[in-house]
Amino acid sequence: MKSRLANSDGCRLANFDDLMLERWLRQRESKKIIWETKDGIRLPIQEMTDSHLKNAIECARRRILDNALQNEMIGCEVDALD
């Protein structure tokens, strides 16, 4: 029985995730994906140095952790005397 995921050449047929990745790659190559530094400098991600990438990843990690902590604290009462 022939797999529905492969064509006659044995290649895997594209799915939605493949198309989204292709779209992202094309945007990246066209310099449409921009990172803004804390200093307000905007640059295409493909022009970011290793140092920029490291700092951007660390910034994103902190934001995710901060958001998770804020969501965890919603609804908790804090005693003013503590």
pLDDT band at 74 (very low <50, low <70, confident <90, very high): low
Closest CA to 34 of 22, 25, 46: 46
Q: What is the residue-averaged pLDDT of the chain?
A: 79
Report the percent of the chain where pLDDT is more than 70.
Answer: 77
What is the secondary structure of 8-32 as a DSSP string? TTSPBPP-HHHHHHHHHHHHHHTT-
pLDDT band at 68 (very low <50, low <70, confident <90, very high): confident
pLDDT digits (tens, 9 = 90+) for 33-56: 888 888 898 988 888 889 988 988
Please state the pTM of the whole predicted model.
0.47
